[in-house]
Amino acid sequence: MSAPDILSPEFAADPYSAYRTMRDEHPLIWYEPMQSYVISRYADVEKAFKDPVFTSRNYDWQLEPVHGRTILQMEGREHSTHRNLVAPAFRGRELAEKFVPVIEQNSRELIDAFAADGKVDLVDRYATRFPINVIVDMLGLPKTDHEHFHRWYTSIMGFLSNLSGDEAVMADGIRTKGEFSDYMIPIIAARRENPGDDLLSTLCTAEIDGVRMTDHEIKAFCSLLLTAGGETTDKAIASLMSNLVAHPEQLEAVRADPSLIPAAFAETLRHSPPVHMIMRQPSEDVELSGGTVEAGTTVTCLIGAANRDPERYADPDSFDVHRSDLDQGRAYTAGANHTAFCLGRHFCVGAMLARTELETGIAQLLDAMRDIRFTDGTPPPEHGVFTRAPSELRLTFTPA
């Protein structure tokens, strides 16, 4: 059987069947349209994320045109220093004390707007709005600018997922970079002069060994946070709720025991990850299943394939919040045994923020909605290749 075509309509409709073929028969593919090798086995994707020979130099052309230079492009000491500048705001006490109330309020406001209706498209009314609103509020920016951020977010994600190279999409993303910079740089300058208690002020004042982030580094991080934090949480909410409604017994187990929400989120990250592919670039020739990857070439790591590798998981195509081969203790750390947040030194710095948003949001949704079912009677299809989730989630429910 020939290797699946990543940009084909058949692949977009059902990547999981293609992933099986890739893992079994084509673990290493040179894909000409993307000028990239493609890998699909868990062991290979894990190696690409953990082995120091794999760099993130691909982000120089993949991210920089739309974000500017971000922490993802950095390596070694520079990366460690910048990661340590931003990480404290996304873990432990600071996250809990400063931003949990922001998360709770934003979720509640969105739910209150539809809770009495008995029906909702959860993607449109909640999932696409909740994480972006949280990020805007964490940064201490005006609520009146939420719609600007939704537009910028959509444009930047279009640029990043533009695997076919559509020139109009590229131009819109680059134009958004300019608009976002024009908006953020004066605000950053003002926060340096008069810092407050918000995340943007924290970024402006953070210092390690005399090193501070420049205005453009802060702007680039905010741009990255907007898309990486928005897109992953947005799609995780839609996929998690769809998975639970499709498995009523698991939905009721989570409703009865909200401490299972992190397990349901971790299993969604494995089974239906928001991001299906991440790229890396080796600094020297490296051996993977199926052959040698040359130094300097791009490697596309298929998270969606790795996370359903039967060599790693029992019954990998089944959704199971009680799964015993997914390490819940490490699911939101760099040592996780799923690949949805990457692994190793470039593990997602916002993983705990995402977990906190999901724990809060799903708990509030289940409190507000009883007897939840798909309005059309069946789970909605997933959409997307680079990122993937239901594009709408029409639910009917009994108001609590």
User: Looking at residue 250, which CATH number applies to its domain?
Assistant: 1.10.630.10
295 is a domain residue: yes
Name residue, tokens 């533009």: 162
> What is the distance, to the nearest Å, from the Cα of residue 176 to the centroid of all Cα atoms in its chain?
20
386 is a domain residue: yes
Residue type (1 letter), 130? F
88: Cβ contacts below 8 Å, ≥ 6 apart: 94, 202, 206
Identify the CA nearest to 46 among candidates 334, 263, 370, 373.
334
pLDDT above 70 (res 318): yes
Report d(CA 260, CA 266) in Å as an integer.
Answer: 10
The predicted pLDDT at position 75 comes to 65
2 is a domain residue: no
4 is a domain residue: no
3 is a domain residue: no
Identify the CA nearest to 125 among candidates 241, 225, 223.
241
69 is a domain residue: yes
Per-residue pLDDT, averaged over 291-318, amounts to 96
Q: How far apart are the first and last CA of the chain?
A: 52
Q: What is the 3-state secondary structure (H, E, C) of 37-68?
A: EEECCHHHHHHHHHCCCEECCCHHHHCHHHHC
Torsion of CA 56, 60, 63, 66, to 10 degrees: 160
The predicted pLDDT at position 205 comes to 85
Encode pLDDT of 219-247 as tens digits. Answer: 988 888 887 778 889 999 999 999 999 99
Note if the pTM is more than 0.75.
yes
Question: Domain count of the chain?
Answer: 1
pLDDT above 90 (res 254): yes
The predicted pLDDT at position 72 comes to 63
pLDDT above 90 (res 79): no
Encode pLDDT of 173-232 as tens digits. Answer: 888 888 889 999 999 999 999 998 888 998 888 877 777 888 988 898 888 888 777 888
252 is a domain residue: yes
The residue range of the domain holding 87 is 9-399
Q: How much of the chain is in helix, strand and coil states, percent to nearest 5? A: 55, 10, 30
| In contact, 36 and 302? CB cutoff 8 Å | no
Per-residue pLDDT, averaged over 11-18, amounts to 96
1 is a domain residue: no
The predicted pLDDT at position 65 comes to 73
> Coil, strand or helix: which one is 176?
helix
Mean pLDDT over all residues of the chain?
A: 89
